Amino acid sequence: MKKILSLSLAFLSLAFAGLLSAKDSKPNFVFLLVDDLGLGDFGCYGAKFYETPHIDKLAADGMLFTNGYAACTVCSPSRAAILSGCYPARLKLTDWITGHKKPFAKLSVPKWDTRIDHKRVLLPEALKEAGYATAFFGKWHLMPIGQPDFDKHYPTNHGFDINVGGREWGQPKGKGKYFSPFGMPGLDEGKPGDFLTDKLTDAAVDFLEKKQDDPFLLYFSYYTLHGPVMAPPALVKKYTEKAKTFDNTKNEHLEPRRAGMVEALDNSVGRLVAKLDELGIAENTVIILTGDNGGNYDTT
């Protein structure tokens, strides 16, 4: 029996029966990190305008937690904390890279770092030591931009065997932004009109197929829901029409493009779960879905 737990905006899928009955079987880990995820973005947290059936099913099948805190308000510190298990202040990484430059501020910003020290053992490094295959997909945003050691801080320099999409960017900055061409390492550019979330999911599904017989860490750090707010045209059209007749008694944010981004995310989660089921490894896989630091106050 597969149970799903959640912590704050996290879903933890623990296959207790499978894990406890097979002492020699190492559990797989699928970690899904959503950028700028807000409490009101999923149906399981009360959203009615946004549609997230796959994520809602994870919540419905297990335990849902509704209270949690991020130690920093921006993404790079949260990402470093998750990978290292340390508070951002202990890492001296307390702002997004390259940071808020406020020369006229009344208070000085404390000295901080723009990288994770290689001396720290990160989650993928610990799992590699235990025999795991490790792969990173999506947003990294942990590289010291403009520093001599810049090219020594890609995901593959910090314990990941594979890097698809991870670079210094905090948001998609390729020519097409969320649409092809993407300009990201290891990611197939696809064809005009291809959407970033879908292409990253294609790569993640391919990894699952190739590593189904080995213990693995699939670390999927979505660029979505960070701006620029963009979504596949069909989804934008769907929510534009829905907004016309939606009974907005809860004063939800009726933004068709953001709603489309959320549904594209949900479809990605659904594809990953379906692939785990298809490969017969779902019962030996831990799934965690969480946000990095909360959503924008005016959109979630």
According to the model, what pLDDT value does residue 24 have? 58
Q: How far apart are CA 5 and CA 33, in angstroms?
A: 16
Tens of pLDDT along 221-265?
A: 999 999 999 999 999 999 999 999 999 988 898 999 999 999 999
Beta strand 11-14 with 3-5 is antiparallel
Dihedral through CA 188, CA 189, CA 191, CA 192, nearest 10?
A: 150
Residue 133 has pLDDT above 60, yes or no: yes
Helix axes 256-279, 196-210, angle to 10 degrees: 10
Task: Report whether 284 contacts 27 (CB < 8 A).
Answer: yes
Residue 10 pLDDT exceeds 50:
no
DSSP state of 264: H
% residues pLDDT > 70 (the chain)? 89
Flag whether pLDDT at 5 surpasses 80: no
Enumerate the H helices of the chain as residue ranges.
Answer: 16-21, 53-60, 75-84, 88-91, 123-129, 196-210, 233-245, 256-279
Torsion of CA 49, 55, 58, 63, to 10 degrees: -60
Report CA torsion sign: 95, 101, 103, 104.
negative
pLDDT at residue 289 is higher than 90: yes
Phi, psi of 136 (to 5 degrees): -115, 135
pLDDT at 219 over 90: yes
CATH superfamily of 3-291: Alkaline Phosphatase, subunit A (3.40.720.10)
Set 44, 54, 72, 141: catalytic member: 141
- Predicted pLDDT at 129: 97
Decide: 178 and 223 in contact? Cβ < 8 Å.
Answer: yes
State yes or no: is 44 an active-site residue: no
Inform me whether the pLDDT recorded for 50 exceeds 90: yes
d(CA 155, CA 108): 31
Its pTM stands at 0.91
Q: Per-residue pLDDT tens for 161-212?
A: 999 999 999 999 999 999 999 999 999 999 999 999 999 999 999 999 999 9
Nearest in space to 184 (alpha carbons), one of 205, 161, 200, 198: 200
Which pLDDT score is estimated for 2? 42
> Among this protein's residues, is 226 annotated catalytic?
no
Candidates 44, 75, 153, 158; catalytic one = 75
pLDDT > 70? residue 14: no
Mean pLDDT confidence for 118-130: 97
Asked if 284 contacts 15 with a C-beta cutoff of 8 angstroms, the reply is yes
Regarding beta strands 11-14 and 285-291, do their DSSP bridges make them parallel or antiparallel, or are they unpaired?
Answer: antiparallel
Domain ranges in the chain?
3-291
Instruction: Collect all residues with Cβ–Cβ distance below 8 Å to 55 and sequence separation of at least 6.
Output: 11, 42, 43, 44, 265, 266, 269, 289
Which tokens in the block code for residue 251?
């004063």
Q: Which percentage of the chain shows pLDDT scores above 90?
A: 74
Confidence (pLDDT) at 8:
41
Closest CA to 196 of 170, 171, 177, 221: 177
88 versus 300: which is more confidently predicted? 88
Residue 12 has pLDDT above 60, yes or no: no
Q: Which amino acid makes up residue 176?
A: G
